[in-house]
Amino acid sequence: MEMIRLPRPIFGLYSDPTNPRRIDCFPFGDNKSITLFIMERFPKLGMNCNSQFEALTYYNPPGVTPSVKFWEWRLVPEIPLESKQSEMISEISSFASLLDVSGICISIKSVGTYCLDAVTEDASWRKIGNWTLPFHGKVEYVPELKLWFGFTDNAQQHLAAADLSSGLDMDSQPQLVLTAPWKETVNLPEEWKECKESQLVNLGSGRFCIVSFFQNLNGGRRQSHKNNFAVFTGVEVVPCNTVHDANGGSGKVQQLQMIVHKSLCHNSNRTTIDVVL
């Protein structure tokens, strides 16, 4: 497998070193502003929850020349919970931007799914169901296919797609319209062991980069030095044909095909790659 080198980072996001946390972030943009939502994946719900959901917004303030924009931090409203859930430490299992309705959506394991109007300052979270999205981790929207893509919420982590266009009005768990295995297509040394969750990067127009992470014990199990590897795999999802709705609907359903391209490897030695955007 071909090896690559990465340039020096431009900037970094870090949690308090005295209180380490699992942080994830995802962008949201409209014609007025760009927002980077930052959240803790394992928040202690109901306990100072406002500090665990924040947003960094790049926008043009009212009354200021349109060409002038500023960055501004703001707190994201607290998630409304039932009293029996307020002391839970649970995982935000999946999260997505609902660009067509200017909202964001998160699913909390064993709790349910919530949506938030991302552009209204005084908006609050609204629970839309006790079910969770059929994904794990970040979910990416592809406007050309009118579908959202992410990994399945099981050990296989297949690339999957679902229609979330109902947005804030979803009343049941969306059904997957694509589940495509990709790990089996990547040839890796047997001694490499996967050490954390893979990440999905949206490159646009149905093209993605899947980043997977591995460790290799250098010199055998008796050695303490571990080599960290990141494998970047290019995949592409394209429509292959259109068939009639198998569920009895009057419309037609677009079938999809996943094409796996080449993989590249980066050896980060004693450092590690945490997030790829």
CB of 115 within 8 A of CB of 105?
A: yes
Supply φ then ψ for residue 48, to 5 degrees: 55, 40
Tell me, yes or no, whether 274 lies in a domain: no
Cα–Cα–Cα angle for 108, 165, 116, nearest 5°? 45
How far is residue 77's CA from residue 160's CA, in Å, rounded to a whole number?
30
Range of the domain at 230: 2-269
- pLDDT recorded at residue 19: 59
- pLDDT recorded at residue 116: 85
- pLDDT recorded at residue 77: 80
Read out DSSP for 194-220?
EEEEEEEEEEETTEEEEEEEEEEETTS
- pLDDT recorded at residue 2: 75
- pLDDT recorded at residue 54: 83
- pLDDT recorded at residue 29: 67
Tell me, yes or no, whether 277 lies in a domain: no
Tell me, yes or no, whether 23 lies in a domain: yes
pLDDT values of the chain reduced to their tens digit, one per residue, 277 residues: 777 776 666 556 665 665 556 677 777 766 667 788 888 787 665 555 455 788 888 888 888 888 888 888 888 887 877 655 555 657 889 999 886 656 888 998 888 999 888 767 677 888 888 899 999 999 999 999 999 999 998 878 899 999 998 766 777 889 999 899 998 888 888 888 898 889 999 999 999 999 999 988 665 555 556 788 999 999 999 998 765 555 555 456 678 999 999 999 988 766 777 777 7
- pLDDT recorded at residue 250: 47
Tell me, yes or no, whether 275 lies in a domain: no
Tell me, yes or no, whether 276 lies in a domain: no
Residues 6+ positions from 130 with CB-CB distance below 8 Å: 111, 112, 113
Domain total for the chain? 1
What CATH number does the domain containing 99 carry? 2.115.10
- pLDDT recorded at residue 118: 73
